[in-house]
Structure 1
């Protein structure tokens, strides 16, 4: 079965016309460039190709650089332009995809080469077509750049709204990405005898991802231990783990340009400490209560508020918050300094996928970093990823009005944990949700996995010196 490029183009047409009802009788087309091979500065090596996601949405093409796609809205014909054949490059890179094979592989109506673009677009322009594109960054100096209309906001709206709702084909790809990611997280939990540095966590995840056919990650893995678990997008990934108790790994494999995004935490010793388990269970409860309320029509803001209220209840029970009711503490906003990020985000071809309507200028700090600000709809895929963090940087931001609610003496006892985040990938269905993530998040099952790996010992693993 081919990637449904034609169906995607028709969705974009529908959303575009919904905002441009006056254009129904006009001739127009959509034109998007694929990614070009990008050289590293001052050398003859190239960066790995990351395909333009809008181009991929209308083609299904992953690893072909320098291609273009044209959708003639009037006759609904989808035309692929392959890069021109470079005879000299065949010796180095082998034969490129032929037009005939491309027509068989991709859901397009016709295939030409890039050398035919100028003639094709000029013909449309001469016929009073308006040709909309995202940008001309990769071909601004070529003549046909003058025939297109870049950066039209309605065109971006149409692309984003189309990508927002996943079809069955896309969901199947995302389920497979999630399955690969499950196995990778399981492998990391199981291999502690050979994981004495955060780099080893990173390496173990990547190794098992590639072994399963996923050569690319949805994002750079976050692999942290101890107090560093309180850094939300930790990128160092190379501190020793000796003397620490907690691990947080946020990593997701990519499958055919579709992302997964999963976070798991586990104890280095194989046994959660009292404080670590208390915070883990609080985050687990936050995630579970949110998940149970996922359904079409509910606003993501409301689920985010719910997760804060669950955090506050647990903090009161643990003595971390005091001197106020749950409602007073919620209204003060103090929970933001222990849970500063948003509940989750849309997921698709991008880890933080398009269409979320985020408002990073929101005056409410509880909502400022929320990447999804709309009602849920059937076919959306979102991450449910609450967290609790003990970061000196964040605690310094607690205001004088808020500090009366914080029992600093108790908070100090939790600082060594750094933070806990649990993240699953959730498909919104017509009746509720489907959790596509299946690696366990039960703390006692996690302990058993880690303990089994520890019992196996170093002699059970192949260690590269």
Structure 2
């Protein structure tokens, strides 16, 4: 355990944010309050206890080797406890009492990994009521109250972004299958209850959480500005990824990034929505006429940032780059102005599409109908196939998007890619990320697609796209995305990211000038 955690505060050292572990105590209190308000049967009964049992992330190795990955805590466990180490369990009673259960390590462990913290130190650091060993956990449940029945609530639910199932703790299955009559007073609730309630809690941020997210976004903003000042034609895309990673870690203490960096600056790479994956590892050569799309975010104490900047490699926007960038910037500004509690996220997406299509219609890039007809026909999905944004927190695509009580996912082109269709609530944090892309697979009639997309191609002015703008064809195309991290306030929004957006500001920073708005926010963050 690092010395920086022994005072009940997470920190990566000098000049980095100090995060009190009281943040997680507050989260635990919120969860208990929510579960009690659900009026679960037998809550408060003298002969019954309700426990929440969570399993922390596991230490893993690369395939069959002994190469250990850098550990990052499982997000639900992080939200509740903030524990840095792997292989822990945590428990919470509806009375508010909290437990951590830790692996019992051999003394030889300290030879290789450093001195082992005592259970008392862990209790002080993480601010929990009890710390015990994992091999004592089962007996702890039984000893809490002789004659009492215990309902053990565990995680079980499907992540609506990945489709993966959050399975109950593995130890619970072992207990259930063991022929141990002493454990019969324990009932395991593996319904979706805990998953739904914790996800609902996580979608609304506390002030302590917002403070960490402001920090992560400012660290990321500073790294983005450094990339803007560094870029020049002839560089490799990965050089900008390296610059971002170096800035986020060396100046902000962010060891992890929120997702794989997207540094698209070569040819049509900026029209590949999730560029940067293993088969396209940011290895292109940045061309002089390229439009860069830089989507990168740092993570601090597991809280994410997600910022995208788009700008020309030359440092000066060409006429067509100005047209597309202005369309996306106008969409971003219009959506930001409309954000407030009660606003429909579905409506925000459609609003962004409307603004972008109005610019494309004005420049004769689309045709064949009025603006209303184009919006109704879902033509916007040809140019912005992804959702306009998403919840963000301990995960880049944070939980809470499609819970049981939330509006269902749309089946229409573009709208079905939205990661939530909820009404906004105060203290949600979302990304606002409109984009306009000229994607070969969507625009070129020679590429077979489903009928819903093929029918939209009739609205394209292919002659202008192909002949005048040279945007249609294999290996051609590019895109613009503008993405900010936004906190929903009682009467509007707070922008957590701080990067140049206006064309004149982008060009000025790319020429080497400073970005005073960010400098002021950063100094204020360090002082507070």
Distance 1:59 1:144, change over 3 A: farther
Shift in Å, 1:180: 0.5
Cα 1:193–1:333 change in 2 (3 A) is closer
Aligned equivalent of 2:7: none
Residue 12 (structure 1) aligns with? 31
**Contact between 1:295 and 1:376, CA under 8 Å: does it hold in 2?**
yes
Q: Secondary structure at the match of 1:365?
A: coil
Kindly provide the CA deviation profile for residues 393-444 of structure 1, in whole angstroms up to 9, marking residues without a partner as x.
1224475643332111222316255100000000001121100011111222
Counterpart among 481, 488, 493 of residue 428 in structure 1: 488
**Contact map agreement 2:43 2:50 (CA 8 A) in 1:** no
For residues 270-285 of structure 1, the aligned pairs below 5 Å read: 270-285=315-330
Structure possessing the higher relative contact order (Cα contacts under 8 Å, 6 or more residues apart) = 1
Tell me the residue number matched to 2:517: none
Go from structure 1 to structure 2 and tell me whether the alpha carbon gap of 1:52 and 1:79 turns closer, same or farther (over 3 Å shift).
same
Map of 2:67 onto structure 1:
45
Q: Could you give the per-residue CA deviations for residues 143-168 of structure 1, whole angstroms, max 9, x where no partner exists?
A: 48875736421111111011111001
TM-score by length of 2: 0.81
Show the counterpart of 1:444.
Answer: 504
The CA deviation at 1:352 is: 0.3
| Equivalent residues of 2:61, 2:68 under 8 A apart | yes
Moved more, 251-260 or 95-104: 95-104
User: Which residue is equivalent to 1:303?
Assistant: 348
Q: Residues 197-216 of structure 1: matches in 2 within 5 Å?
A: 197-212=236-251, 213-216=253-256
What's 1:107 paired with? 127
Does the CA-based 8 Å contact 1:360-1:368 persist in structure 2?
A: no
Counterpart in 2 of 1:242? 287
Alpha-carbon contact 1:139-1:145 (below 8 Å) kept = no
SS in 2 for 1:22: coil
For residue 107 of structure 1, report the CA deviation from its aligned partner.
2.5
Residue 233 of structure 1 pairs with residue 274 of structure 2:
yes
Cα distance, 1:35 vs. partner? 0.9
Post-superposition CA distance 1:32-77 (Å, at most 9, x none): 111111112221111111201111111121x21111111011x320
CA-CA distance at 1:242 after TM superposition:
3.1
> Where does residue 462 of structure 1 map in the other structure?
none
Segments of structure 2 that go 5 or more residues without pairing to the other structure are 1-19, 156-166, 179-185, 514-528
Q: Which moved more, 1:391-400 or 1:166-175?
A: 391-400
The 3 A distance-change label for structure 1 pair 400 and 385 is closer
Superposition RMSD in Å:
2.2
- Residue 364, structure 1, aligned to residue 364, structure 2: no
Q: How many angstroms does 1:23 deviate by? A: 4.4
Instruction: Give the Å deviation of 1:265.
Output: 0.8
2:228 paired residue number: 189
Stretch of structure 1 that moved more, 123-132 or 366-375: 123-132
> What SS class does the counterpart of residue 129 from structure 1 fall into?
strand
Check conservation: 1:224, 1:234, Cα contact below 8 A.
yes
Matching residue of 1:461: none
Answer with 282-291 or 37-46: which moved more.
37-46
Deviations 1:117-145 (A, max 9, x none): 12112335962110111234554675488
Aligned length in residues: 451
Alpha-carbon distance in structure 2 between the residues aligned to 1:269 and 1:411: 22
Alignment partner of 2:293: what SS?
strand
Shift of 1:192: 1.7
Contact residue 122 and residue 144 of structure 1 kept, 8 A: no
With over 3 angstroms needed to count, the CA separation of the structure-2 counterparts of 1:178 and 1:414, relative to structure 1, is farther
| Alpha-carbon distance in structure 2 between the residues aligned to 1:356 and 1:80 | 29
1:335 to partner: Cα distance: 1.6
Question: In structure 2, what is the Cα distance between the partners aligned to 1:314 and 1:82?
Answer: 58
Is 1:60 matched with 2:114? no
The correspondence for 1:223, drawn from 232, 246, 263, is 263
1:358-392 Cα offsets, whole Å, 9 max, x none, are: 88963211310101211111110000000000011
